[in-house]
Amino acid sequence: MVGNWKMHGRIGDNATLLTEVAAGASALQKGVSVGVCVPCPYLAQSQALLSGSVVRWGIQDVSAHTGGAFTGEVAAQMAADFGVTYAIVGHSERRAYHLESPELVASKAQRAIEAGLTPILCVGETLEEREAGTTEQVIGTQLEAVLSTLTEEQAAGIVVAYEPVWAIGTGKTARPGQAQDVHAFLRRKLLEKGATVANVPLLYGGSVKPENAEELFGQKDIDGGLIGGASLQSKEFLAICRAAQTVTH
Ligand code: PGA
């Protein structure tokens, strides 16, 4: 279960949130892994407060470059200096507002892997694409761009998050069956890359709340969640984490 704080947080509030999440997560059953992807300036704070806890921390984007004259960019290796485990790549907000192409996202995933980070590759269709019946085509292209640059072993080490753009921050969640259909499609595509790749964790993201978490995570191919808004409140985020431990499949 991974929280995506997006551009939220202040140093004082974060301390409370991180401490509460760490305390709550330690009471979860084994088998539920918890992470939080925080804004870059708070990586050091996350490292200080989460080291030794069961909660891992991550970055929300990385540069496609390893270093150099790229003002404002953050290299995956820099994040690794702060003990980071996860790097979200290809979030729909990056694709939409920063015009990130599938190829650029693939380079970012590559840099993350080289730095020893686990990329969380986000894929998802817009409402127009869903209504036009091109969901699988869009998602297939986004996934394939990354998989084609990875070895089978590298691909087996990533995490994939399905986040329908129309469900992010809108309060509209994909129906569990709708999400499951896309997850099953992703699983088939991953299997084409290799048997071990089919086992990568598939997260669902888009308005996950304590009220809908159990039904979503109960779907066969939904292994966890990428949680935006609800990860900013420890009570909500931990309730979602607890919902994950009640389902088995
Ligand atoms: P949301 O965001 O839970 O606020 O919809 C999910 C995400 O964008 O990762």
- Which residues approach ligand 1 with their CB closer than 6 A? 4, 163, 168-169, 205-208, 226-230
- Candidates 1.10.1370.30, 3.40.50.880, 3.20.20.70, 3.10.129.10; correct CATH number of 2-25+32-245? 3.20.20.70
pLDDT digits over 106-123, tens only?
A: 999 999 999 999 999 999
Go through the chain and tell me how many residues it has: 249
Q: What is the pLDDT of residues 189-248, one digit of tens each?
A: 999 999 999 999 999 999 999 999 999 999 999 999 999 999 999 999 999 999 998 886
153 flagged as catalytic? no
Give the residue carrying structure tokens 């299997």.
Answer: 191
Measured CA to CA, the distance from residue 80 to residue 83 in angstroms comes to 5
Q: What is the dihedral of CA 47, 42, 19, 24, to 10 degrees?
A: -90
Measure the CA–CA gap between 60 and 36, rounded to whole angstroms. 9
- Domain residue spans in the chain? 2-25+32-245
DSSP class of residue 206 equals S
The pTM score is 0.97
Name the β-bridge partners of 160: 121, 202
Contact 49, 19 (CB under 8 A): yes
Residue 228 annotated as binding?
Answer: yes
